[in-house]
């Protein structure tokens, strides 16, 4: 069985978020897919089988801690593999997933992922949230994951995460985010606070509950933070940066119940698994 490792949300290897992609003719047992994922020791491994219509596939995502219901970078990586090596004539791929039908459209070197937006509810900032990062957040929101908003991007970039504390916070994961370019924090909603710096928002993502201390680039996280920043900045097109050590860029667009995540990909390796 062939396995590809692709760096997603970047145009060069050793950056972005690496995902392994296994293209299969039929499903392996769940325990075997979990063993492969643990052996890969990457944040996510994608398993995909062609099913149904011409461009329709069934896609599942596994972390070292178990199967998950949504993963952006592994979806992008899978679409890259299919359009590069399996069906290069295709530019639209549909995936049946635990999060429903997801569509990826290839536009030149950019892959656009059409994902569900996560609704957020504003909640009280707690001492535990401050202890998780070492700085008190300006605001806190909860969706499927916890989102903490900080006053400037330096706090997000320099944060030292306490994984044990994060593991006890609400939500599956934690995303810490700030407006880009160290601009003065603004919570206005009329669009007057928009600046002209490169990135609209800076984010980092942590998933100790899934044995992923920090996700290098998190599509799922941006389905939380893009709707938030679209409202705060009064704009639907959001150019986002994931400030992990590897770094990654996302070209995002908020469309109400859907969030479009755009990014590039780079192939790192192709291997034959003895399975």
> What is the spatial distance between Cα 124 and Cα 87, in angstroms, rounded to a whole number?
49
Catalytic annotation, pick one of 44, 112, 214, 249: 44
User: Is 255 noted as a catalytic residue in this protein?
Assistant: no
The whole-angstrom distance between residue 261's C-alpha and the CA centroid of its chain comes to 9
Look up residue 202 and give its two tokens: 């800076």
> What is the spatial distance between Cα 62 and Cα 58, in angstroms, rounded to a whole number?
14
Look up residue 174 and give its two tokens: 């934690």
The torsion angles phi and psi of 185, rounded to 5 degrees, stand at -65, 140
Look up residue 124 and give its two tokens: 């009280």
Burial class, 85, CB count within 10 angstroms (exposed 0-12 / middle 13-18 / buried 19+): middle
CA dist list (Å): 75 to 161, 167, 183, 198: 27, 25, 32, 26
Cβ contact 161:167 at 8 Å: no
Report the 10 Å Cβ neighbour count for 171.
17
The torsion angles phi and psi of 182, rounded to 5 degrees, stand at 55, 30
Q: Active-site residues: which are they?
A: 44
């Amino acid at each position: 069985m062939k396995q590809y490792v692709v760096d997603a949300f970047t145009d060069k290897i050793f950056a972005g978020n690496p995902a392994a992609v296994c293209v299969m003719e039929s499903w392996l047992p769940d325990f075997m897919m979990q063993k492969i994922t643990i052996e890969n020791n990457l944040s996510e491994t994608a398993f995909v089988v062609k099913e149904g219509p011409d461009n329709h596939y069934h896609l599942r995502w596994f972390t070292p801690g178990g199967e998950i219901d949504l993963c952006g970078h592994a979806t992008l990586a899978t679409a890259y593999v299919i359009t590069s090596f399996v069906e290069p004539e295709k530019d639209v791929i549909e995936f049946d997933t635990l999060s429903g039908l997801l569509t990826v459209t290839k536009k030149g070197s950019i892959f656009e992922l059409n994902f569900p937006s996560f609704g957020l509810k504003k909640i009280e900032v707690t001492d535990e949230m401050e202890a998780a990062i070492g700085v008190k957040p300006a605001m806190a929101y909860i969706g499927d994951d916890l989102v903490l908003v900080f006053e400037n991007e330096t706090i997000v970039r320099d944060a030292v995460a306490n994984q044990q504390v994060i593991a006890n916070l609400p939500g599956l994961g934690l995303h810490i985010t700030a407006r880009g370019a160290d601009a003065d924090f603004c919570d206005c909603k009329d669009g007057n606070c928009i600046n002209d710096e490169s990135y609209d928002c800076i984010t980092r993502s942590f998933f100790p509950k899934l044995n992923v201390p920090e996700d290098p680039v998190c599509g799922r996280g941006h389905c939380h933070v893009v709707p938030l920043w679209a409202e705060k900045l009064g704009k639907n097109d959001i150019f986002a940066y994931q400030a992990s050590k590897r770094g990654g860029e996302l070209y995002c667009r908020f469309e109400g119940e859907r969030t479009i995540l755009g990014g590039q990909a780079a192939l790192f390796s192709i291997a034959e698994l003895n399975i």
